[in-house]
Amino acid sequence: MENNGEILLVEEALAMNSKMPMKQIYSCIVCTKNHFFVIPTKSIGMFVIFNTIKNHAYFDGLSIFEGLKKMINEAENVEDLEAKIAELLEQDEKYIFKLEDATKLKISGFLGKKTLMFRKGKSWASFSPKSKAGGKELAAFYNF
């Protein structure tokens, strides 16, 4: 995990959402104070594996995590980074979550693992960092 106070980069997480409830998405997550972005690294479920991101210029010869670190380092500010990641994800609402739109936002824990749950009306999304330390860092980042 990378955390500079304004941006938290989670290298390994498992994400799920109501738009694809039968699919577990192994992901890198970029968290800002206003958004979180799910960047799939591979997916398991009934749908096609997300492959657009592998063709993006930032990831040429790099892992998705390394490409995201490069994007973060090159961004002029958080708003610039949010815009670039939204563009990278083709503005797809299955992967982009604006925290102020949440009707309910919480971080819960079970056996030391933390999960961020985002609800907006009847739809939901969640992700869990793979490591326990990552979950603690996530809770601290969002002040839960």
Give residue 104's pLDDT. 94
Segments in the chain forming alpha helices (H)? 64-74, 78-88, 132-141
Which residue stretches of the chain have pLDDT < 70? Answer: 1-4, 43-58
Give residue 52's pLDDT. 47
* Full DSSP string of 71-91: HHHH-SSHHHHHHHHHHHTTT
CA distance 14 to 4: 22
Give residue 44's pLDDT. 60
Give residue 19's pLDDT. 82
Give residue 144's pLDDT. 72
Check: CB of residue 40 under 8 Å from CB of residue 26.
Answer: yes
Residue (of 38, 40, 35) closest to 105 by Cα position: 35
Check: CB of residue 25 under 8 Å from CB of residue 16.
Answer: yes
Give residue 32's pLDDT. 95
